[in-house]
Amino acid sequence: MEEKNTLKSGFGSRILHWIQNYKQYIIQYFGLIFVIAVFLYLTDGDLFSARNLETLIRQLVVILTITLGMAFIYSHGGMDISVGAVVALSSLCATYVMNLTAGQVLPAILVSIAVSVTCYLLNIIVTNQFGLMSTISSLSVMFVARGIVTYVNSMSTDKIEVHNTAGLELFRSNTPFLIGTMAVLCIVMTVLFNLTKLGKQNRAIGDNPLSAMQSGVRVKKVKVEAYVLAGIMVGIAAVFSLSRTGSVSEKTGSGLEMDAIVALILGGMALNGGAKSRISSAIIGSFTYVLLNNGLVMAGVDTQVVSLIKGIIFLIVVFLTIRQPKSKKVLPR
Amino acid sequence: MKMKKLTAYLLAAITIFTLTFSMTGCSSNNGSADSSASTQKPVKIGVILYNYTDIQGKEIKSYASYLEQNFNVKFEYATVGQSEDQHISGLENLLNKGVDAVISGYDTALDNSIKMCEERGVYYGVALGDIQSSYKGNSKYFVGGLKQFNGDPEKFGETYAEIANQKGLKHIGVISFPAFTFVDGTKIADGFKKKMSQLDPSAEVYDMETFMYTPDLAKAAVTNVFTKHSNVDSILGLGSGMDMIYPAIKDSTKPSTKILSLGYNDSTMAAIKGGSVVAAGTNNYSQIVANMFAQLYDRVNGKSYSDWSLNGTVSYPIVTNEQEVTDFQNYVIPADKSKGSVTADELKKVMKTFNSNATWKDLNILTNRSLAEIKAARKAL
């Protein structure tokens, strides 16, 4: 009997140990599979109808592009809440450029990226130079960017919209193009995150900035590079966002910062950054988030309780991911 | 201990599944149980609003439910945020649910919304606002918008001026949302100012203060009015008047200041009784849904009005005393919509699907009846 118990506890303990070790992967993939399974069942398979798949791809492209960039900021322990406002400002500038160039997309993309990178550079320079928390500096960037967009809108008698949207059609509704772009971005960012010095040093800073610095990592420079990368991605996302809406108002991009954070957390991103940060959190998390939003509506869930369900799921994931590790694998900060 | 944690995780997953499942209303009785309902597939109409928890959202949903009982129609709801992208996502999700038409509360991302609807052969209308003259499109899938404030904001402002004058108000501040977000607000204020100067040349109507949507900023706007004009005796509150400006006045250093307000909520009756609210008013939600529904239902059934134009008209009832508030509750927001502003029978008479002689003008006369006209119509029954 005793022997049996020992065997049993040994097996159970091994399973639990395995679960503990691979907790983040389990949350990541189990969350996605769970969401797919539940909504496939509730929608009688409509979740993956050709029409809805197209919609999912269109909805995914903006949030995925953003989270891929944000993963670099989160992995070094940073936090950004300005992304919605920066998307609005970049979209605004892209709109004006398109209207000035008779609907040319390329200059609009370049301007959008330039504006976004400038905002993120401002963000990290303030953080680096004045030792502010990244959240605070991103808050100030958010207010400045949102303020500019609101002011420009208030000065305009007409709606601010792209007059010739033909060039944006590719970004709005060409599904193969959207899939191709997402695939390329995912591959490039995965390589940068996992196989280059930039990605590795980012995670090292996330684990322990002091140790990273003493190991020869130029902490401030690496952070600047991470923010520039995030800026590029947000600039691209702004063009995708503009292609979906065709117009810019003072509300453009509002709530996007929270969407990005929630998607990353749903993907199992370690909130403190460090070695456990993975770029796959951005990819899986974005898929899960978009499927969750779409699935709740497709399944006919009462609109009054959509937020409640999202909130419960979010809380559970945070509860599972944020708990302090009992092992001593992570160095003291 | 560890097993307990594992069990807790599993239970959490099961809870989510159960909660989601239970909220979808999945049951064998999912279809309409109404024996009078047609055997034909119901027309599916999507509704897009910011929320369904305030009086506007609740009433729109309630009237839609009344329509479901009297027409072969089913409504699907989407809650959206205020940004364009959230609006488009909400619309996409509705389109994928197979709706035949969409009633959007707002003209957010209008061109792209119409474009998406065109691609799916779905009809689209804007319920809570008119379509500006700058709109250049001519899609056959777009049924246009609705003019609020009885179709004439300036005249509506004049009505408020008459009420203010009757109450002897002399020093009036004006608070609204910024002009670029609430174009009609400026027109109402202009009409109010003009009429006040005619009715009482000694009265002063001060320059408009604006705020952006939040209660804190409404408080700041009220404080600004009091700081700049110490003799203010009343405020014309145009942006969320009852929900934001009225509470801000009550919390201010001059809580006895009266308000002429846009908006209606549960505190309106008490506030009018107490004299702190001189006038309140709000959209007639049933008329709004009725107008949009009639047009969309007809279009889905291949009918349209020959005299149609881009913007319809709905009324905006104003209440100034307890009797009018009671009438408002009985005829504009009654629980039983068959005793409300637009009954199913009245609506059928002005819809092409049910009456080939119906005209768009008839529809708009029906959905622009004043509170007194609605009351008279109900009493005549």
Gap from A145 CA to chain B (nearest CA, Å): 15
DSSP 8-class letter at A167: G
Which CATH number characterizes residue B129's domain? 3.40.50.2300
ipTM passes above 0.85: no
Judge whether A313 is closer than 8 Å to chain B, CB to CB: yes
pLDDT for res B238:
92
Gap from A219 CA to chain B (nearest CA, Å): 36
Do B87 and B128 lie in one domain? The reply is: yes
Instruction: Report CB contact under 8 Å: A303, B82.
Output: no
Cα–Cα distance between A287 and A290 in angstroms, integer? Answer: 5
Instruction: Report CB contact under 8 Å: A52, B96.
Output: yes
Which one of A40, A42, A156, A159 would you mutate to disrupt binding with B, by most B Cβ within 10 Å of its Cβ? Answer: A159
CA-CA distances (angstroms) from residue B67 to A230, B37, B290, B338? 49, 11, 9, 10
Identify residue A109 by its one-letter amino acid code. Answer: I
**Residue B102 bridge partners (DSSP):** B46, B124
Instruction: Report CB contact under 8 Å: A34, B92.
Output: no
Instruction: Report CB contact under 8 Å: A247, B86.
Output: no
Instruction: Report CB contact under 8 Å: B92, A55.
Output: yes
Q: What's the token pair of residue B305?
A: 């009005």
Residue B2 lies in a domain: no
Instruction: Report CB contact under 8 Å: A312, B19.
Output: yes
Do B170 and B263 lie in one domain? The reply is: yes
Cα–Cα distance between B372 and A110 in angstroms, integer? Answer: 59
Residue B261 lies in a domain: yes
pLDDT for res B40:
64
Instruction: Report CB contact under 8 Å: A252, B78.
Output: no
How many beta-carbon pairs under 8 angstroms link A with B? 138
Q: How many CB atoms lie within 10 A of CB B373?
A: 15
Do B275 and B312 lie in one domain? The reply is: no
| Chain B contact set for A249 (CB, 8 A) | 83-84, 108
Residue B165 lies in a domain: yes
A273 touches A212 (CB < 8 A):
no
Name residues whose C-beta falls within 8 Å of residue A112's C-beta, 6 or more positions apart in sequence. Answer: A90, A91, A93, A94, A235, A236, A238, A239, A242
Look at residue B281 and give its three-state secondary structure: strand
pLDDT for res A293:
87
Write the residue in B25, B77, B132 that is nearest to A303 by C-beta. B77
Instruction: Report CB contact under 8 Å: B180, A245.
Output: no
Name residues whose C-beta falls within 8 Å of residue A136's C-beta, 6 or more positions apart in sequence. Answer: none
pLDDT tens track for B5-54: 555 555 555 555 554 544 444 443 443 334 344 456 789 999 999 988 88
Do B62 and B132 lie in one domain? The reply is: yes
Domain count, chain B: 2
Q: Which CATH number fits domain A29-321: 3.40.50.720, 1.10.150.80, 3.30.750.24, 1.10.3470.10?
A: 1.10.3470.10
Do B139 and B47 lie in one domain? The reply is: yes
Q: What is the pTM of this model?
A: 0.82
Write the residue in B13, B15, B109 that is nearest to A246 by C-beta. B109
Domain that holds residue B82: 41-148+284-319+357-369
Q: Which of residues 282-301 of A touch B (CB under 8 A)?
A: 293-294, 296-301
> What is the number of helices (H) and of strands (E) in chain B?
14, 12
Q: How many CB atoms lie within 10 A of CB B170?
A: 17
How are strands ordered across the β-sheet holding B101-104? B73-79, B43-49, B101-104, B123-126
Q: What's the token pair of residue B178?
A: 């910024």
A238 touches A145 (CB < 8 A):
no
pLDDT for res B7:
53
Q: Which of residues 138-177 of A touch B (CB under 8 A)?
A: 150, 153-154, 156-159, 161, 165, 172-173
Write the residue in A245, A252, A303 that is nearest to B52 by C-beta. A303
Judge whether A100 is closer than 8 Å to chain B, CB to CB: no
Q: Residue A67: exposed, middle, or buried by beta-carbon count in 10 A (0-12, 13-18, 19+)?
A: buried
Identify residue B137 by its one-letter amino acid code. Answer: G
| Chain B contact set for A320 (CB, 8 A) | 9
The H-or-E segment that residue B46 falls in is strand B43-49
pLDDT > 70? residue A1: no
Do B228 and B275 lie in one domain? The reply is: yes
Gap from B78 CA to chain A (nearest CA, Å): 7
Comparing B41 with A61, the larger pLDDT belongs to: A61
Name residues whose C-beta falls within 8 Å of residue B154's C-beta, 6 or more positions apart in sequence. Answer: B187, B188, B190, B191, B194
Gap from B31 CA to chain A (nearest CA, Å): 13
Do B175 and B267 lie in one domain? The reply is: yes
Name residues whose C-beta falls within 8 Å of residue A260's C-beta, 6 or more positions apart in sequence. Answer: A63, A66, A67, A70, A80, A83
Cα–Cα distance between B106 and A216 in angstroms, integer? Answer: 55
pLDDT > 50? residue A253: yes
Identify residue B343 by its one-letter amino acid code. Answer: T
Ranges A34-38, A101-105, A233-237, most confident: A233-237
Gap from B96 CA to chain A (nearest CA, Å): 6
> Chunked in runs of 10, what are the mean pLDDT values of chain B (381 residues)?
52 52 44 44 92 90 96 92 90 92 94 93 94 80 91 91 92 91 90 93 91 89 91 90 90 90 89 91 94 96 92 92 92 92 95 94 94 88 63
The H-or-E segment that residue B172 falls in is strand B171-176
Instruction: Report CB contact under 8 Å: A13, B25.
Output: no
Gap from B166 CA to chain A (nearest CA, Å): 35
Q: Residue B33: exposed, middle, or buried by beta-carbon count in 10 A (0-12, 13-18, 19+)?
A: exposed
pLDDT for res A229:
96
pLDDT for res A301:
80
Cα–Cα distance between B361 and B339 in angstroms, integer? Answer: 23
Instruction: Report CB contact under 8 Å: A150, B212.
Output: yes
Of B265, B281, B297, at which residue does a domain stop?
A: B281
Counting other chains too, the contacts that A122-131 makes at CB distance below 8 Å and 24 or more residues apart are A123/A80, A123/A82, A123/A227, A124/A223, A124/A224, A124/A226, A124/A227, A125/A224, A127/A78, A127/A223, A128/A220, A128/A223, A128/A224
Comparing CA positions, the residue from B298, B118, B132, B171 lying closest to residue A159 is B132
Instruction: Report CB contact under 8 Å: A34, B181.
Output: no
Instruction: Report CB contact under 8 Å: A301, B23.
Output: yes
Gap from B213 CA to chain A (nearest CA, Å): 12
Gap from B118 CA to chain A (nearest CA, Å): 13
Identify residue B286 by its one-letter amino acid code. Answer: S
Cα–Cα distance between B182 and B213 in angstroms, integer? Answer: 11
Please report how the helices A279-298 and A256-266 are oriented relative to each other, as an axis angle in degrees rounded to 10. 110
Q: Which of residues 10-49 of A touch B (CB under 8 A)?
A: 12-13, 16, 19, 34, 38, 42, 46, 49
Judge whether A304 is closer than 8 Å to chain B, CB to CB: yes
Write the residue in A153, A245, A309 that is nearest to B112 by C-beta. A245
Comparing CA positions, the residue from A316, A266, A19 lying closest to residue B12 is A316
Gap from B122 CA to chain A (nearest CA, Å): 14
Instruction: Report CB contact under 8 Å: A42, B26.
Output: yes
pLDDT tens track for A277-327: 899 999 999 999 999 888 888 887 876 677 788 788 778 777 776 655 554
User: Domain residues of chain A, as ranges?
Assistant: 29-321
Sort residue B89 into left (φ over 0), alpha (ψ -120 to 50) or beta.
Answer: alpha
Do B125 and B102 lie in one domain? The reply is: yes
Instruction: Report CB contact under 8 Å: A245, B88.
Output: yes
Residue B377 lies in a domain: no
Write the residue in A49, A58, A250 that is nearest to B92 by C-beta. A58
From the CA atom positions of chain B, what is the Rg in Å?
23
DSSP per residue, A268-322: T--TT-STT--HHHHHHHHHHHHHHHHHHHHTT--HHHHHHHHHHHHHHHHHHHH
From the CA atom positions of chain A, what is the Rg in Å?
21
Residue B111 lies in a domain: yes
| Chain B contact set for A296 (CB, 8 A) | 20
B249 touches B234 (CB < 8 A):
no
Of B251, B281, B311, at which residue does a domain stop?
A: B281
Do B294 and B276 lie in one domain? The reply is: no
Do B133 and B49 lie in one domain? The reply is: yes
Comparing CA positions, the residue from A146, A138, A94 lying closest to residue A115 is A94
pLDDT tens track for A63-95: 999 999 999 999 999 999 999 999 999 999 999
Instruction: Report CB contact under 8 Å: A153, B81.
Output: no
pLDDT for res B178:
87
Write the residue in A52, A153, A300 that is nearest to B25 by C-beta. A300
Do B275 and B160 lie in one domain? The reply is: yes
B52 touches B275 (CB < 8 A):
no
pLDDT for res A332:
44
Which one of A8, A157, A303 would you mutate to disrupt binding with B, by most B Cβ within 10 Å of its Cβ? Answer: A303
Comparing CA positions, the residue from B62, B136, B120, B49 lying closest to residue B310 is B136
Do B157 and B81 lie in one domain? The reply is: no
Write the residue in B13, B26, B84 that is nearest to A252 by C-beta. B84
